[in-house]
Amino acid sequence: MHNRHSHRQVHGVINETHTVRRWWRDAVIYQVYVRSFLDSTGDGIGDLAGVRAGLPYLKKLGVDGIWLSPFYPSPQHDHGYDVADYCDVDPLFGDLAEFELLMAAARRLGIKVLLDIVPNHCSSEHPWFQEALASAPGSAARTRFHFADGRGPDGTEPPNNWHSMFGGPAWTRVTEADGRPGQWYLHMFAPEQPDWNWRNPEVGAEFDRVLRFWLDRGIDGFRIDVAAGLYKHPELPDSPDPEADARTRDSVNPLAWNQPEVHEVWRHWRAVCEEYTARDGRERLLVGEVSVPTAREHAQYVRADELHQAFFFDLLGAPWDADAFRKVISEAMQDIAGTGSTVTWVLNNHDQVRTVTRYGEPATEARGCLLDQAGDARSGAHICGVVVGCPCSASTPSSALQPHAPDPAQVGHNAPPPPADLIQKTPPGGLGVARARAAALLMLALPGAAYIYQGEELGLPEVVDLPDDVLTDPIFHRTGSRARIRDGCRVPLPWSGQASPFGFTSGAEGAKPWLPQPEWFAEHATDRALADTRSSWHLYRDGLQLRAALPQLGEGALRWLDTPPGVLAFVRGDDLVCAVNFGTAPTPAPVSGTPLLSSGPCPAGVLPGSTAAWWIADGTTL
């Protein structure tokens, strides 16, 4: 494996004692959804020991770091995004000692570790919220949250008309200590996730403590959940479109999101990170989940003294169309890269329909699409739900990849598969697979950083027909609708074997994954992907190796080439060309000769439909 910067200029800054390498500017980070990655205990839920066991697999894939979904103590109403204690590990996932082992293993392998921090809201079981419930209206404890008197006779109506992103009113009424109905509290997500009041300085001070707790344990940075949140309009007035957030599953309400005061929080957090960097020259990263209307507003979050990076969701939300892709890429390069940051590209995450399915052919008219309902694909932060076809070296055996835990190829074979009538038997594929592979090569060729959601490297499709009785998404339980639910992209990964649990879980006889895996997961298991050089895993691995080895890739600029309709092509450096044919018919390639890498069969001089390729060209001809 090439060192990512071995053939590229190393960008850094010099402080009084250290040269700081700005590793994050072109890093490729792998998102680990912990509960679905690998289970080491046999309870059917992934854990930190499972992540540690999988690190050699990720090193072989070639990523620079991992982002871990929340593993803090939580009642799990939203799978850890309802945090009861920000400075510990939920026993479901391990303990602080196991976290230390994970950090040590990651350091040995040269893998950066980012934690997911949730500053917009906490769990209703957080001690401070429990204190607020036990305290009187107007008390200091209640000012840490948004408590307010209701409107109407006897305060029976919510304080304003806002709706939660997960459906229903954004307010819940409490019962006071004397047993009478009392005030209401604000929750922009589920009732079990009360929003912090960042206008109370105690909240900021508490998060200072949280940041330092984990930075002192050697982490490399934070992914910040709902980074355009935190502050609300100080008067909490009615919204002109109160159901916009619920309708789009996005941060649309201008009174609840993207308030100007939030930028002071990120300036302060950046200063905290810089304090640690000054000690040892190791830069700590802040990357935000920022959902705002335009690339220009997005750029405000990545100014030199704020977040290092923020996910650019517009690429994820773009329909499969050359002009649409070119537009969002150009806007990002102009507005975001212009701040001095680098663009942070994503095609998928734990809130999105998997790429293979999202890019696939339409299979039904019954399911709704956010693009149809909202007429807007501006951020992708919660873009669409179960929408099929929404436009919106030699292999190492898996037995060599798990030195810290049982080999996934050897665990769970005796567990019975889920009932056959519960989940689909035929794996989706076809056009969606080809487009997802092409999109991956496109993303890895773009200037800046890239994030890969677990299972994308396996070409996993969405599991679109989980039965109602196994669904866990609070969106489903609050609305009764399957539209835009997220369980289908969170089904535990298949590692090996021909039947569920596919090596995901070990231990007790009959252990079942927390969500059922379909029979066709066998076609995407890691052991099979490693053995098949045509697999998506090898495409990602080869792309990552070339990205690390070629000085033209990673950070830098791009130059668009003239192309026929339906084709996108650009140059990196003087001579590396990436082209994507968004159509289905072949077209002449923009460069003669055989490509370095392609997402599908690509004869010299031809770029087939739904295919991406990289070439090294004679620079004088471009």
Q: Which residues are catalytic?
A: 225, 275
In three-state form (DSSP H/G/I as H, E/B as E, the rest C), the secondary structure along 35-52 is: HHCCCCCCCCCCCHHHHH
Tokens matching residue 315 = 């690429």
Tokens matching residue 534 = 């045509």
User: Is the separation of the CB atoms in 465 and 45 below 8 Å?
Assistant: no
Q: Return the amino acid letter for 566.
A: G
Classify the C-alpha dihedral 610-616-621-622 as positive or negative: positive
Q: Find the largest Cα–Cα distance for the chain.
A: 82
The helix-helix angle for 48-61 and 536-549 (nearest 10°) equals 70
Helices (H), 86-222: 96-109, 127-134, 201-215
Helices (H), 319-425: 322-335, 355-358, 370-374
The 10 Å Cβ neighbour count of residue 5 is 17
User: Is the separation of the CB atoms in 31 and 69 below 8 Å?
Assistant: yes
User: Is the separation of the CB atoms in 103 and 217 below 8 Å?
Assistant: yes
CA gap 252, 42 in Å, rounded: 41
The 10 Å Cβ neighbour count of residue 622 is 15
- Dihedral class, residue 143 (left if φ above 0, else alpha if ψ from -120 to 50, else beta): alpha
Element (H, E) at 452: strand 449-453
Tokens matching residue 365 = 């008219």
User: Phi and psi at residue 285, in whole multiples of 5°?
Assistant: -100, 140
Span between the terminal Cα atoms of the chain, in Å: 31
- Dihedral class, residue 521 (left if φ above 0, else alpha if ψ from -120 to 50, else beta): alpha
The closest of 584, 524, 587, 542 to 561, measured between CA atoms, is 587
The helix-helix angle for 536-549 and 431-445 (nearest 10°) equals 10
| 443-453 as b/e: b if 16+ CB within 10 A | bbbbbbbbbbb
Q: Strand 147-148 to strand 181-186: parallel, antiparallel, or no bridges (unpaired)?
A: antiparallel
Contacts of residue 480, Cβ cutoff 8 Å, sequence gap at least 6: none
User: Is the separation of the CB atoms in 432 and 360 below 8 Å?
Assistant: yes
Would you call 140 exposed, middle or buried from its count of C-beta atoms within 10 A (0-12, 13-18, 19+)?
Answer: exposed
User: Is the separation of the CB atoms in 522 and 503 below 8 Å?
Assistant: no
Q: How many helices (H) and strands (E) does the chain have?
A: 15, 20
Contacts of residue 421, Cβ cutoff 8 Å, sequence gap at least 6: none
Specify the 3-state DSSP secondary structure of 383: coil
Q: Return the amino acid letter for 247.
A: R
